[in-house]
Amino acid sequence: MDTMLLRILVSTIVVSLLIFIILLIKTLLNNHMTVKAHYHIWYILYIPILAAFLPWNYFYLKEGTDYFKSLLLFHKDAPLKSERINGVDASQAPNGDLLHDFTVSVNKSTPEFVYHIFFTVWVVGVVLFVGTAVYSYYQIYQIKKSAAVVHNQKLNKLLEVCKEMVGVKRNIRLRETSLISSPITFGIFQPFIFIPSKTRETFSLNELKYVFLHELHHHKSKDLFVNYVMWIFQIIYWFNPVVWYALKRVRMDRELACDASVLNLLDESGYIEYGYTIIRFADKKYDRPFEQFAPGIGGTKKQIEQRIQCIASYSRDSLLLKWKSKVICAFLGIAVLFLAPITTVIASPNDVYQFSGKNMVYEDLSSYFKGYKGSFVLYDPSKNQYQIYNREMSEQRISPDSTYKIYSALFALESNVISPNHNKQVWDGKIYPFPEWNQNQNLATALSRSVNWYFQNTDREVGRKPLQDYYHKIKYGNEDLSGNLNSYWMESSLKISPIEQVQLLYQLEENQWGFKAENIKAVKKAILIDVQKNRQLYGKTGTGMVNRKNVNGWFIGIVDKGEDRFYFAINIQNKDGQAQGSKAAEIAKQILYHKKLY
């Protein structure tokens, strides 16, 4: 929930800043831009939305997006103030018969129910605006249903002449109806021009020519499509007054650009007649809901006043002005495109791993997960087969918690911060909640006791940039180290799915990354849990604790059975504070026993 709100917040900030930049440029460079450029510059608002779907990782911009994420995270993970000992708050999960499972609680200052309230309010607003859009379409449907075909040959001939003047070759259907008081145009795939029933009686052919020229320019400029995009903006950002103001300016600039296009086809004597035609449609029940989708020649009195002022001062654009307008729009567009990686925060696909494996067997293991949401993944390399319980959750990326320490240890070994034979770290004397932490540690004890300070020290010595390179190299989950270096793995930025956990364990065992064999061996030796006859169990638990509640439990590992190896990962989640790594290990042990693997 908080991830969704983060995206909405960040996207709101990005779009709002971009609107302010566009308004500033329009103000400062007002005399250096054509009327059409003042309208077309708003198209730049679409870039952040489109950029969210570009594969920025392939352009080597991953680190840049991670940096932006580190700046934009609006909540900090920190130990709770209660029950703190020397700055640390922690809780020990039941040991079970596998590993001691220690976990450190992180504090998310905003209660979960607050996220739900804000999200619910946003959804209600979206639903209301979608309802308004549906009602607008219903109004348009009623207009189309009531409209009659115009059989007047003079009007149809005039429309064809105007189409030729504007350069529109599509078939435009002319209809008249009593449900409107001002001409409108509608339809992207089947375009229509609707005119009021009394138009032929009250307007001359010359005035109707101006009406047709105006409506046809809306079709030529794809303004109808722009209207749909603006409605999407309004639905998503209904709560943002900056977006509302921008959309109001877009509609005004659209009409000014359309007027300028019509005037460009007329001689100076036609300017006044065109202006008088517009005035006759001023404030005739304008701004009804459907007119947000169907632009027309009319408008409110205030809008018409501004348009008449622009018509009165109209002069044809010089070649220099046109080129300056193109340069300004292009420069701003390129600048926004370079900043577009920010928008990967808005609609990042990194929360879900798109698994494309073919040899999969989906199992129903729900009887083992009573009281928990969860997933279990087992990979058998001899059959190249995945056995999966709960496909959706097996692909969902979540915090790895202490399971990351397998790879933190490996990276420390590869960076020569520690070595297989020299990996002792001296306790600094700080009193931690666990007696097992308050002593010197080596790699084996640090992993079995899940000693946070040991791996925080090695991570700092390795350094953020080399660590990031390592995570990229092994493709660890979303590869996102934008969180605090001491806690990026602990209900923070780094996330991984159960399927990826299994794949990484296999790649670790096979050393597909080209690391030193002795380092792989040292890590595997340190996570050896149990030996039974010809079977060995290797593994690491992890528990995610938020606000003193265990919400996320992991157990990942390897089973050596004779000449065969099996790789597994289990994750459980529970809002009641019972989802611990030790419980995940207990469930995994039952499943492995049932499969006669342990």
Which contiguous run of DSSP H or E holds residue 538? strand 535-546
143 touches 173 (CB < 8 A): no
The pLDDT score that the predictor gives to residue 530 is 87
> CA torsion angle for 487, 491, 493, 498 (degrees, to 10)?
120
The pLDDT score that the predictor gives to residue 568 is 96
Q: Nearest CA to 199 among 217, 212, 213?
A: 212
Which contiguous run of DSSP H or E holds residue 579? strand 578-579
> CA torsion angle for 469, 473, 474, 480 (degrees, to 10)?
40
Check 402, 408, 487, 492 and give the catalytic one.
402
The pLDDT score that the predictor gives to residue 347 is 44
Which contiguous run of DSSP H or E holds residue 303? helix 301-312
CB-based contacts of 397, cutoff 8 Å, min separation 6: 350, 351, 352, 353, 477, 478, 495, 496, 497, 500
Residues of the chain below pLDDT 50: 1, 53, 55-63, 68, 70-98, 285-286, 345-347, 349
Question: In terms of C-beta density within 10 A (0-12 exposed, 13-18 middle, 19 or more buried), how is residue 581 classed?
Answer: buried
One-letter identity of residue 301: K
Q: Are strands 173-177 and 192-196 parallel, antiparallel or unpaired?
A: parallel
The pLDDT score that the predictor gives to residue 86 is 34
SS3 assignment, position 379:
strand
Which contiguous run of DSSP H or E holds residue 327? helix 319-338
395 touches 377 (CB < 8 A): no
Number of residues assigned to the chain: 598
Question: In terms of C-beta density within 10 A (0-12 exposed, 13-18 middle, 19 or more buried), how is residue 491 classed?
Answer: buried
SS3 assignment, position 352:
strand
Q: Are strands 360-363 and 564-573 parallel, antiparallel or unpaired?
A: unpaired
SS3 assignment, position 348:
coil
262 touches 220 (CB < 8 A): no
Output the CA torsion sign for 186, 191, 193, 197: negative
Tokens representing 471 are 């995570």
313 is catalytic: no
Q: What share of the chain is helix, strand, coil (3-state, %, to 5)?
A: 55, 15, 30
Return d(Cα 371, Cα 266) in angstroms, integer: 75
CA-to-CA dists, residue 143 to 181, 194, 289, 551, angstroms: 12, 8, 13, 55
User: Is the pTM higher than 0.75?
Assistant: no
Return d(Cα 354, Cα 397) in angstroms, integer: 10
Angle between helices 405-414 and 464-474 (to 10 degrees): 110
Return d(Cα 409, Cα 451) in angstroms, integer: 12
The pLDDT score that the predictor gives to residue 90 is 37
CA-to-CA dists, residue 568 to 66, 72, 514, 522, 556, angstroms: 29, 35, 22, 20, 6
For residue 90, what are the β-bridge partners?
A: 104
Q: Nearest CA to 544 among 397, 341, 335?
A: 397
The pLDDT score that the predictor gives to residue 53 is 47
The 3-class secondary structure across 446-484, one letter per residue, is HHHCCCHHHHHHHHHHHCHHHHHHHHHHHCCCCCCCCCC
CA-to-CA dists, residue 330 to 22, 257, 323, 399, angstroms: 13, 18, 10, 41
Residue with tokens 């607050």: 114
Output the CA torsion sign for 582, 586, 589, 591: negative
The pLDDT score that the predictor gives to residue 421 is 92
Return d(Cα 55, Cα 62) in angstroms, integer: 10
